[in-house]
Amino acid sequence: MASSSMSSQSSGSWTAKQNKAFEQALATYDQDTPNRWQNVAKVVGGKTTEEVKRHYELLVQDINSIENGHVPFPNYRTSGGCTNGRLSQEEKRMRNMRLQSFAIDDKIYIMDRKNSFVYDPKEGTLETDELLDTQWSVGSCVIDGKIYTFGSKNRIWVFDPIAMVWDRLKGLDDLPDKRDGSRMSNLGGNLAIMFNLEKGSTKICCTEIRLERREGGKIWGKVLWSNIVITLKEPSTIVRCLTVTV
């Protein structure tokens, strides 16, 4: 990721808009998604399946070059600083974490249960973001450039990366109890939440919430429906919630 412009030139001319769409598509269609590269190509536009696949392969090569010390890795402790291939303990720790990432406004937000980082490909900087840590939890999603997450006291919180503030999603006092392992997804601009009915249950539930921006920029939500969508033979953990168009 640190040398995405180098990869872009190698795989043909890519516009900033296409690169942004590419990053967002990778977050939506992971390696387990059927026909992944066809879906990514549709999102990017103007590129073939082979071109987007090659673009990804070159990005992986760039990342490997960073990890092998051939390209300096950005040091998040100093803006614009580099380690010249020598990884600090913090950087090694970040690499070993189980991460979730989102691409918003040309920046990549990287998070796990305890830490949050913001990577700026243009500046080559990787910095911690303690504000994100205050509410963010695993299983969040991005809708219209904002991060939605289950925060404290069974409430949904919204993070605006432009204003750099967390705000509670209004109008949702009747939400079902939050369960560990709940996951969120962008369902055509609505917020979908998948969760286990209770610990050890074989029943998976889904809640769809319509979002509305009101006066003052506050975001309100309304539960459209909430029901059991599948009953499994054995208790399971929800790893990821994805929206698929068929």
Q: 67-94, pLDDT tens digit by residue?
A: 454 444 444 333 344 444 455 554 555 4
Give Cα 235 distance to the centre of its chain: 26
Assess contact for 185 and 171: CB atoms under 8 A: no
pLDDT per residue as tens digits for the range 11-27: 467 887 887 788 777 76
pLDDT (0 to 100) of residue 101: 72
More confident site: 241 or 41: 41
Average pLDDT over residues 130-143: 78
Give Cα 236 distance to the centre of its chain: 22
Q: What is the pTM of this model?
A: 0.58
pLDDT (0 to 100) of residue 221: 94
